[in-house]
Amino acid sequence: MSSLIRSISGIRGIVGESLTPNVIVRHVSAFADLRGGTPIVVGFDGRPSGARIKEIVTGVLQMKGADVIDIGMAPTPTVQLAVELEHAAGGISITASHNPSQWNGLKFIDQSGVFLDAEQNTQLFSLADDELEKFVQWDALGSHELREDVLDLHIDAVMRIPGIDYDAIRERKFRVLVDAVNASGSVIVPRLLEKLGCEVLRYACEGHGLFPHTPEPIPKNLVEFGSQITELEVDLGVVVDPDADRLVLFTEKGEPYGEEYTITTAVASCAEAGILNEGMPVVVNLSTTRAVNDVAERIGAQVVRTPVGEINVVKRMLAINAPIGGEGSGGVVLPQVHAGRDSLVGIVLVLDAFARNGGSVSEYRSGLPNYHIRKETFPLEGLEFESVLAAITAKYPDNEQNTEDGIRIDFPKSWFHLRKSNTEPIVRAIIEAPTEEETGRLSQEISSAMFGEGN
């Protein structure tokens, strides 16, 4: 039987195995105690189990005396924004992000629309483990309000970003193919694109939550989608994950744009729109492409890096007043809208960049700094990770090292980052260099350090 995963990203597990009604009740009850206020916003990412879990979540919250604002099937960033707009005490997004259909989970959001941090999650998990749920009497039960306008409120918010040339976007009349894996982006993403003057073709936007392919938006899962791009002669392919916080693009040639280049293009767009100016910080995590540095340096902006995890990026952004940030997995954060990864924000920013510069999407991509990135995983079981870190540290004594989250080693034109996953029992290695040959060489060096020479 699988184990429940508890991390900085909340909880997730396989429905009926590690994610059971009892587990859900205990964690939601703990969250209600931790927040100590009302109302609470609740949404789910569209997968079939989500609607059933939502009934448990909303019921427990009401039994704790909290009023519930139920926004139904909605992206995680929509839940976060709704918490802010409704001045709620917190929110719960029912999602397992990019995990397959049998998975689901809960992401916990504080009163500012930001995910709980590591310390807050640890406190929540401790309360859940105590199994001391206390509920209110019948005459103190919370209310339940179903809201159907929040998707449009989210669209309205991203249509008001200062500096964006919305008219230029509309004039381009982009023809866009959308893959929302039939989940929470199925309605809101096409609706936003249509408001931006795009002709929208829907690839997997049925909204029934049955994924047409493995939902993680990486190239090997999107081969059929890429072939549809050229067959339908569209200008751009837009792909979001089940809870629509990540944005991945395809060029008009049916080729992956590169998930690392979503945030790179967003940063370039912010520079052109006057959102990001000289001396301002850009915040990304330690695993994000150095192309962000290249783009930021063109205008004299500074790149600040954090440990992996959205909340780590967001907390640093808020602390230093960074106007733009994100992660190389397709996550874009623009605090002017709300402090969380948001595919809708990403769509507006990249379309603005494409519209301002004219030409095709592939032409724009070819003008960005180009690196080859390699992402590998290794099972954590049986691996003495601390010994691996020590070996890596000793191997590169003269290179720039960052040990905030595993270890990152920087070279003049390349780098690698080795870390334990927040959500899976694996070690991740992210390697980037100007050539594939260089990433391969670094991969061999990492493997040798982890498993001994000759591997």
- CATH no. of 260-366: 3.40.120.10
Q: In what order do the strands lie in the sheet with 5-7?
A: 5-7, 10-14, 103-109, 90-94, 40-44, 68-73, 144-146
- CATH no. of 5-148: 3.40.120.10
Residues 411, 429: contact at Cβ < 8 Å?
Answer: no
- pLDDT for 379 equals 86
- Closest by CA position to 102, among listed 241, 221, 218, 210: 210
- pLDDT for 133 equals 83
Please give the structure tokens belonging to residue 289. 């492409």
The rounded distance, in Å, linking the Cα atoms of 109 and 127 is 16
Return the number of other C-beta atoms located less than 10 Å from residue 141's C-beta: 17
Which pTM value belongs to this model? 0.95
Only one residue has tokens 């000793």, namely 394
Give the three-class secondary structure for 45: coil
- Give the mean pLDDT per block of 10 residues along the chain (455 residues): 86 97 98 96 98 98 98 99 98 96 98 96 96 91 97 98 98 99 99 99 97 96 97 98 98 98 98 98 98 97 96 97 97 98 99 97 97 91 87 92 96 94 85 97 89 61
List of long-range contacts for 116-119, beta carbons under 8 Å, 24+ apart: 116/10, 116/311, 117/8, 117/311, 117/315, 118/8, 118/311
Residues 282, 292: contact at Cβ < 8 Å?
Answer: yes
- pLDDT for 6 equals 95
Residues 222, 256: contact at Cβ < 8 Å?
Answer: yes
- pLDDT for 453 equals 58
Contacts (Cβ under 8 Å, ≥6 apart) of 219: 226, 256
Only one residue has tokens 């339940």, namely 144
- The kind and range of the H/E element at 386 are helix 385-395
- Every domain of the chain with CATH number 3.40.120.10 lies at 5-148, 154-250, 260-366
| CA-to-CA dists, residue 288 to 354, 385, 406, angstroms | 22, 22, 14
Only one residue has tokens 């100007």, namely 434
User: Among residues 97, 287, 329, 414, which one is catalytic?
Assistant: 97
Contacts (Cβ under 8 Å, ≥6 apart) of 357: 364, 367
Contacts (Cβ under 8 Å, ≥6 apart) of 32: 40, 60, 61, 64, 65, 66
- The kind and range of the H/E element at 409 are strand 407-410
Residues 283, 246: contact at Cβ < 8 Å?
Answer: no
The rounded distance, in Å, linking the Cα atoms of 348 and 265 is 11
Please give the structure tokens belonging to residue 297. 């340096």
Give the three-class secondary structure for 397: coil
Residues β-bridged to residue 281: 302
The rounded distance, in Å, linking the Cα atoms of 97 and 243 is 6
The rounded distance, in Å, linking the Cα atoms of 349 and 342 is 11
Residue 71 DSSP symbol: E
Extended beta strands in 205-337, E state? 236-240, 247-250, 281-285, 302-306, 324-327, 331-334
Contacts (Cβ under 8 Å, ≥6 apart) of 4: 11, 12, 13, 18, 19, 23
97 is catalytic: yes
Which class in CATH covers the domain with range 154-250? Answer: alpha beta
- pLDDT for 447 equals 87
Category of 331 on φ-ψ map: left (φ > 0), alpha (ψ -120 to 50) or beta: beta
- Closest by CA position to 272, among listed 188, 413, 367: 367
Residue 344's Cβ-count burial label (10 Å; 0-12, 13-18, 19+) is buried
Residue 191's Cβ-count burial label (10 Å; 0-12, 13-18, 19+) is middle
Residues β-bridged to residue 106: 11, 94
What is the CATH T-level fold of the domain 372-451, as seen in this structure?
TATA-Binding Protein (3.30.310)
Please give the structure tokens belonging to residue 233. 């002669």
- pLDDT for 355 equals 98
Answer whether the bond into residue 162 is a cis peptide, omega within 30°.
no
Only one residue has tokens 């200008």, namely 235
